[in-house]
Structure 1
């Protein structure tokens, strides 16, 4: 039994395909097939049922794969322990995050982290919540950073979700708007104006109080801020995400507190239970929490 054989069966289980596993691991398909066949012969069990549509683990295979994941996690821990003793954190770290975090705490966090651990290759994806969730569930990234409602409960038993911080969602209007002199605005008032929204959560919250006049459903993009600046519609962002935004700092758009509803979100990390929590990921999370502490 060889370590690479365990890696092969884990990857086949994740991708559902020998050919996809071979492509991802940069190994030829015949080599993987031969390695799996040798492992099955050594263990005396069939690990996968193969068909035209892919490879599905047998009941025996599922047990072996679970143990293989545990073994590979321990192997990774051993390597990291050796490297970390000499402050030689290396390898890669892949992160998928929602835009509001990419606008606020992630830039300073990544700058500090990269300065400390220059040998770590960082991969950063800016995605909306469903996409971040999918990337984590499929094992494509090490950690996901999401925003959910404060009362959100994770419905995926294979995930670990941890709280980072809570944050208010604010309404943002143009300085040209008649509303710009206000410090707060009620949901009833918001329903009287054209709105720019970026999430279904906001739409559902508005619909509790009436029918919102949604001009566009846009993400946290530059275009959204331009629409707000021109007074075309009201937009919505997290308070922390806009704290150092140039449009806010120059007074082109004004933040209003929303009353009449708890317009808050919770920022959280998500990761697979079955995926080894690397020392690299631990150090990144530590730096992230330190950056968040400066905002609270």
Structure 2
């Protein structure tokens, strides 16, 4: 099996179309088809089911393609090591991030990072935590900005910042401000986010406790939740960084939560334990330092650069 053949099967799995896969690889369709068929003959298995309009990997084909993707990613690391040890900050950087974190970081991050490191091909993907960790594991991402996963096997964490949660309530719910601020959160008036609305405080872990909150409509974004509250009454829980997205009038309708332990989330950069691009990691962190308020930043990360080895 050659690197070229691995590239071809990964491309065909991505596009599920011989012509499109061939174009992506810069070869003709007959060449790509012949090389994949030759590989199947060499391994004595079928990697793809070839129905008229439906090209899908076989069961064993999925495993082979996954391993091929890992192998291709590993070969790219040779160039990345060279780039990281020289003065040229270049190459590809693939970052994954939670949708409930992205709005507060990504717009400014793209602007500052792209201007400071114009030779880096930056790619950012929003996904839920499970998908982020899977892409990180298979080498489809270089790093993920997320809350801490439960399983850190073969992963490393670089703590970034701690963000408090606050209550946002409607004008009609303003009389309940003191109750909400005290941490007594009446479930019948609370609107819940579909994913990522997890405060790791046992009883306050809204995403796992299905007895809490209104689930008539499980919103997909914090902004949607805020609008639901404005039009329907009640309240919701929003991250501290979302306060900057509120109007001056809306900012009057927030209350910090007096909960022990505190209602907050710890946001980190997660990388694989064999990650080698130390200078690239420092570049990402330095950029984030210009975006995230200093009082939220992890104390250790704000004072030094990262050393992986």
Query: RMSD value over aligned CA atoms?
Result: 4.7
- 1:282 is matched with which residue? 281
Check 1:258–1:98 CA distance in 2 against 1; reply closer, same or farther (3 A cut).
farther
Question: Are residues 135 and 232 of structure 1, via their aligned partners in 2, closer, same or farther at CA, if it must alter by over 3 Å?
Answer: farther
Describe the shift of the 1:51–1:102 C-alpha distance in structure 2 as closer, same or farther (beyond 3 A). Answer: closer
Change (3 A) 1:201 1:21: farther
Aligned pair 1:160/2:155, yes or no?
Answer: yes
Once the two structures are TM-superposed, the CA of residue 234 in structure 1 deviates from its matched residue by 0.7
Is residue 2:186 matched to residue 1:190? yes
Q: Is the contact between residue 16 and residue 56 of structure 1 (CA under 8 Å) also seen in structure 2?
A: no
* Residues 1:145 and 1:183: Cα distance change in structure 2 (over 3 Å): same
Conservation of the 8 A alpha-carbon contact between 1:174 and 1:253: yes
- Identify, as 1 or 2, the structure richer in strand: 1
Q: Is the 2:145–2:269 Cα contact (8 Å) retained in structure 1?
A: yes
Pair 1:231–1:260, CA change in 2 (3 A): farther
Map 1:117-128 onto structure 2 (within 5 A). Answer: 117-128=117-128
Match of 2:90 in 1: 89
Quote the Cα distance in structure 2 between the aligned partners of 1:50 and 1:227: 47
Classify the secondary structure of the residue corresponding to 2:220: coil
Alpha-carbon distance, 1:2 to partner: 6.0
CA contact (8 A) 1:112 1:287 kept: no
Change (3 A) 1:10 1:271: farther
Shift of 1:135: 5.7
Q: Does 1:77 align with 2:73?
A: no
Distance 1:28 1:255, change over 3 A: farther
Using structure 2 for the length normalisation, give the TM-score: 0.64
The structure-2 alpha-carbon separation of the partners of 1:55 and 1:79, relative to structure 1 and needing over 3 Å to count, comes to: same
Alpha-carbon distance in 2 for matches of 1:265, 1:174: 24
Task: Give CA deviations for 1:62-89 in whole Å, capped at 9, x if unaligned.
Answer: 5x98588457624542366258734251
Rounded to whole Å, the distance in 1 between the matches of 2:5 and 2:162 is 44
Equivalent in the alignment of 1:170 = 166
Structure 1 residues 267 and 242 mapped into 2: Cα distance closer, same or farther (>3 Å)?
A: same
Distance change (3 Å), C-alpha of 1:55 and 1:123: same
Q: How much has 1:93 moved relative to structure 2?
A: 3.4
**Are residues 1:107 and 2:86 paired?**
no
CA distance in 1, matches of 2:118, 2:15: 35
Residue pair 1:174, 1:180 contacting (<8 A) in 2 also: no
1:1-296 to 2 correspondences below 5 Å: 3-9=3-9, 11=11, 15=14, 19=18, 21-22=21-22, 25=25, 27-36=27-36, 45-46=43-44, 48-52=46-50, 54-56=56-58, 69-70=70-71, 73-78=74-79, 81-82=82-83, 85-90=86-91, 92-129=92-129, 132=132, 141-147=141-147, 152-154=149-151, 160=155, 162-164=157-159, 165-174=161-170, 177-180=174-177, 184-187=181-184, 189-199=185-195, 201=198, 205-206=205-206, 211-214=212-215, 216-229=217-230, 232-239=233-240, 241-247=241-247, 251-259=251-259, 263-270=263-270, 282=281, 285-287=284-286, 290-291=289-290, 292=292, 294=294, 295-296=296-297
Hey, what's the Cα distance between the residues in 2 that align with 1:249 and 1:146? 31
Change (3 A) 1:85 1:253: same
1:8 and 1:192, CA in 2 relative to 1: closer, same or farther beyond 3 A?
closer
